[in-house]
Amino acid sequence: MDGVRHLHIGGGRRLSYALTEGRGPTLVFLPGYMSDMEGTKALALAAWAEAEGRAMVRFDYGGCGASSGEFEAQTLAGWRDDTLSIIDMLTDNPAVLVGSSMGGWLMLLVALAWPERIAGLVGIAAAPDFTAWGYTPDEKMTILREGRLERPSDYAETPYVTSRAFWESGEALRLLHAEIAIDCPVRLLHGQADPDVPWAYSLELSKKVRSADVQAILVKDGDHRLSRPQDIALLIATVRTLLEAP
């Protein structure tokens, strides 16, 4: 795999990325909230892509990882636009988006914004609309009143921070209230022991996406991350099958 590079996208902003050269479609990995391109799933998928001669891009949203910007100034719409910039400036082939947790919401927004460039979607514990269902009424009031909310994180030493800018952007981009006009193949992996994103949301998403080629794959003992060796093997098998479909 090539090393980390930096893409200048205007306005003094810079996105960090790593590109694996190979044949298309190009895999694009979308991390979860407060995550980056150095996660277990992103690295495992990139290693597989390199071994198979497949093209892949992994990157950090603005304000995350090695990309420029302040995290609490970011919005869901801004991260959607970061993803569109990555696809536009770094890929020539159709893209298959692999979205983890919040990245599963972003992959839907990107596919809606640029349907002709998206050849398929793979969600891992996809979390569309989590600004609506992922916070208690008291937490939402704290966000609106104080401009931010801190919660302990099970996945990092730093607290899980939600800004009012991000929360309001998410509320404006909710999808599950109506049909989602996406027609490409969609695969949804979800652990039934996920404590953060109920697996029923993958079933609801499978109903709302317009495409007839949608599959939800449930892992009975799988957690939110789905990063165990058997989970990674399932992810790679799912991606391989999608890429090799006629």
Tokens encoding 209:
């996406």
The pLDDT value given to residue 157: 78
Of all residues in the chain, the percent with pLDDT exceeding 90 is 92
The pLDDT value given to residue 11: 87
Of all residues in the chain, the percent with pLDDT exceeding 70 is 99
Of 83, 105, 88, the residue nearest 201 (C-alpha): 105
Task: Sketch the domain layout of the chain as residue ranges.
Answer: 5-130+178-244
State in words which class domain 5-130+178-244 has. alpha beta
pLDDT digits (tens, 9 = 90+) for 105-136: 999 999 999 999 999 999 999 999 999 999 99
| Cβ(17)–Cβ(86) below 8 Å | yes
* Cβ count near 26 (within 10 Å): 26
Round to whole Å and give the CA distance between 175 and 199: 17
pTM: 0.96
| Cβ(216)–Cβ(117) below 8 Å | no
Give the neighbor-by-neighbor strand order of the sheet with 13-20: 5-10, 13-20, 54-59, 23-30, 95-100, 118-124, 186-191, 214-219
Please give the positions annotated as active site. Answer: 101, 194, 224
Q: Is 3 left (phi over 0), alpha (psi -120 to 50) or beta?
A: beta
* Cβ count near 84 (within 10 Å): 17
pLDDT digits (tens, 9 = 90+) for 69-102: 999 999 999 999 999 999 999 999 999 999 999 9
In terms of C-beta density within 10 A (0-12 exposed, 13-18 middle, 19 or more buried), how is residue 28 classed?
buried
